[in-house]
Amino acid sequence: MAARVGAAPGDDLTVAYRRLNAAYQQTLRYAEDVRRLYQQVQRAIYQSLLGLANALEAKDAYTRGHSERVGAWSRGVAAALGRPPGEVDMIGQAGLLHDIGKIGIPEAVLRKPGPLDAEEWSVMRNHPLIGAQIVAPFDFFVGGALMIRHHHERWDGSGYPDGLAGDEIPVGARIIAVADVYDALTSNRPYRVALSHATALEHLTDAAGRTLDEDSVAAFICLIQTLSTANPDVGARSALRASS
């Protein structure tokens, strides 16, 4: 930069430095604005997905409250297992949306008051794929889409849709599976009454290392026992459900 007439070289440098610094500060402010806008867009998309989850709950009485519980417990287990905060959030969100694909399942199958036959099961088993497709357009939720796709995989490889086994199954999907199984066992169904909290925990312990991830089961049992001590309703949901 040419020196100004009558100005000492040091003055020019000071002016240049101040301008540079001001430009840098402005860039930081722009970056902060962009970050905030990005978060706002993410939140808006997430709210829309929640709207879809609520629509599903309106369609399927069983999922009422189920999605929130699975989301909250999955988040708690992920945190207890020491997953990074960003991943804990994503696992919680994927837990909340894990059954979103049921929105694409015909009501005759979804609301059938009894066990499904083989053909109906093959329709029902599409819901993880449909769910993953619903959230696929959102780049920030790629990991969550995988968790949704694989939430019915089993540790021994006997699950669906891809028959993944052990560590091949995304951690979030393994965590969601445990919360999902517990909530299913402790919920009333048209063809069976809800199991007690203690019996459901026995089922989980039995399934650990066979169909469910052992670490996720251990962390879940710790979490649910803490929650049920703090709030006895957690372990007495069958009574709550019967009156609702």
Work out how close the CB of 240 gets to Fe ion at its nearest, in angstroms, rounded to a whole number.
22
Residue with Cβ nearer Fe ion (123 or 236):
123
| Least distance to Fe ion, CB of residue 114, Å | 18
Question: Which residue number has the CB closest to Fe ion?
Answer: 99
Nearer to Fe ion, 75 or 153 (CB): 153
Closest separation in Å from C-beta 105 to Fe ion: 10
Question: Cα–Cα distance between 208 and 155 in angstroms, integer?
Answer: 9
Among 69, 83, 102, 127, the active-site one is 102
Pick the piece of the chain touching Fe ion (CB under 5 A) from 33-41, 66-74, 99-107, 110-118.
99-107
Q: Would you call 102 a catalytic residue per the annotation?
A: yes
Residue 149's nearest CA partner among 179, 181, 176 is 176
The minimum distance between CB 88 and Fe ion, in angstroms, equals: 21
Closest CB to Fe ion among 57 and 99? 99
Query: Rg of the Cα trace of the chain?
Result: 25
- Among residues 49, 74, 90, 99, which is the contact residue for Fe ion, using CB under 5 A? 99
Which position has the token pair 């599976």?
177
Binding site for Fe ion (CB under 5 A): 99
Catalytic residues: 102
